[in-house]
Structure 1
Amino acid sequence: MSSTLQHNLTIVRTYVRLGALNVMQYRGEFFIAVINAAITLVTQLLGLAVIFGRTATLDGWTPAGLLALIGVHFFLSGVIGLVIQPSLEQLMEGIRLGTFDFTLTKPADSQLLASVQTVSPARLVDVLVGLGIVGYACVRLGTTIPPLQWLAFCVTLVLGVVIVYSFLMLLGTCAFWFVKLDNILVVFSSVFGQAGRWPITIFPSWMRIVLTFVIPVGFAVTVPAQALSTGLDLATLGATALVAVLFFTGCRLFWRYAMRHYTGASA
């Protein structure tokens, strides 16, 4: 393992440990997260019960397939709330107040520091609930899932995290020019929270395009769930990988561009 990778992993572990210590000081936040996760899960399961009380499938999706999708959505929501969104909110505040300048003085990659600077371990509840739902969905599918299908699910789930992170990082980087961007994160959270819990195939064609290429909910949520429930063709898997590479490369290049033009709080 290279020294740079070891250094980066040490940074991530340090911020995670600090976040865990913060939760120990404010245990109420953890219990609130548990209650919120339970309420959200019950609400979504009731919605599925109503739908499948009237039909056997929803645009080709079985109850077990939609359970897998809900699990993926829970997992990604947890990852976003665990580290991505709180870190971006801290980044925006740091740029606005001028404290981001201190980040640039540290001997580490500035984008990595900005991406993990704030951790909210209470949202780990959503991550674990999501994985639990996925496991239960596998039982409900009633068949043995082939190893390659498991591999496709794991790969697309990781790619989904990369896509969501890169998309949000692109938005967060805009804060170097447009200071008040908090509402954009709220809009994303609303769209992801509402549209992400359903397969994009049920939406009108224009909305499917938006949820696939503008706000990449389809690649992040629907594709991993599809990989687990019915399997993926190589074209969809390749397209997901390509979108992830393009988004990550774009956010990396945009960050470097922002760093080259950032003049500091004193400017």
Structure 2
Amino acid sequence: MKGVVNAVRHHLAVVGSYLRVGLLNFVQYRTDFAVAVANALVGLVTQVIGLAVIFGQTTQLNGWDHSGLLVLVGVFFICSGLLGLVIRPSMQTLMEAIRLGTFDFTLTKPADSQVLASVQTVAPQAATDLLVGVGVIAWTLVSDGQGLHPWQVGAFLVALACGLAIIYSFLLMLSTFSFWFVKLDNILVVFEGLFQSAGRWPVSIFPPWLRLVLTFVVPVSFAVTVPAQAIVLGVDGATLAAAVGVAVLFLTGSRLFWRHALRHYTGASA
């Protein structure tokens, strides 16, 4: 037990070090923050206009009203910000390092290679999406005069953590294919396009076959819908248990796939 605690502390220290370095790099290019804010606001305005057009013709979208979908948009921005902060840029760096052979340096460091690969690049400007998402959710709840029960808050945090774990695992598995294929940069571009398209809408509005795809194959919409549902419609223990189960499944699968890939990595000198 003590060894596990020490390992967790070591990993957290590594993550903290990379975050500090990323923040120092960000301070050198503060204009990026202003650009990121502008991009986040443009994306938000576009989404709000789209919802206004839809709800100008109807009052509900398969059980979701206007306020509910605004909360979902907020959750989407939170997920986008957290992914863009560390995970997505780190996966891009990982694929490039494998292609160039510089991944060897990661393997020589005294820390778990998966942890290092997952936090090696930090893009603090992505935190603007996180702030926008929190602001949208808070504004929607205040405007509706809706309070949150402690169970809703707890369910939201658990569902959000599971959603991020699922997407992280999926991106890690995609990036791990770089050990066998020379160049896979475009695969993250495809994922980003799918995330931007499907992640902004509740999974329940899609046809049954597409729901399965967006839940178990490319878990984009599921990861955003369940946290929003915890605030808007509420979720029961069974739904949360399913979210935790899917997250554990993806985390375990990505870890095993990573270790399998390392055994077949020959290094830059091969």
* TM bracket (short chain): over 0.9
Matched, 1:225 2:211: no
- Partners of 1:247 and 1:153 lie apart in 2 by 19
**Unaligned residue ranges in structure 1 (runs of 5+):** none
Amino acid at match of 1:97: L
Q: 2:150 aligns with which of 147, 150, 168?
A: 147
Q: 1:63 aligns with which of 58, 62, 66?
A: 66
The aligned runs of 1:118-137 (5 Å cut-off) are 118-137=121-140
- Partners of 1:141 and 1:172 lie apart in 2 by 42
Q: Residues 167-203 of structure 1, C-alpha deviation per residue, up to 9 Å, x if partnerless?
A: 1001111110112111111111000001110111112
The aligned runs of 1:1-267 (5 Å cut-off) are 2-267=5-270
**Corresponding residue SS for 1:108:** coil
Structure 1 residues 5 and 169, CA gap change in structure 2 (3 angstroms): same
Instruction: Give, in angstroms, the shift of residue 82 of structure 1.
Output: 0.8
TM-score by length of 1: 0.97
**Corresponding residue SS for 1:56:** coil
Amino acid at match of 2:221: G
**Corresponding residue SS for 1:107:** coil
Q: Residues 94-134 of structure 1, C-alpha deviation per residue, up to 9 Å, x if partnerless?
A: 00111000000000000000000000000011111111112
TM-score by length of 2: 0.96
Q: Does structure 1 conserve the Cα–Cα contact (< 8 Å) formed by 2:200 and 2:221? A: no
**Corresponding residue SS for 1:179:** coil
Q: Does structure 1 conserve the Cα–Cα contact (< 8 Å) formed by 2:203 and 2:222? A: no
**Corresponding residue SS for 2:158:** helix
**Corresponding residue SS for 1:178:** coil
Q: Does structure 2 conserve the Cα–Cα contact (< 8 Å) formed by 1:82 and 1:123? A: yes
Q: Residues 111-168 of structure 1, C-alpha deviation per residue, up to 9 Å, x if partnerless?
A: 0000000000000111111111122232244332221121111100111110110110
Instruction: Give, in angstroms, the shift of residue 235 of structure 1.
Output: 2.3
Amino acid at match of 1:146: H
Aligned residue pair count: 267
Q: Percent identity?
A: 61
Q: Does structure 2 conserve the Cα–Cα contact (< 8 Å) formed by 1:83 and 1:118? A: yes
Q: Does structure 2 conserve the Cα–Cα contact (< 8 Å) formed by 1:94 and 1:100? A: yes
- Partners of 1:126 and 1:239 lie apart in 2 by 27
Instruction: Give, in angstroms, the shift of residue 217 of structure 1.
Output: 1.7
Amino acid at match of 2:70: L
Q: Does structure 2 conserve the Cα–Cα contact (< 8 Å) formed by 1:69 and 1:222? A: yes
Q: What's the Cα RMSD here? A: 1.2
Q: Does structure 2 conserve the Cα–Cα contact (< 8 Å) formed by 1:65 and 1:141? A: no
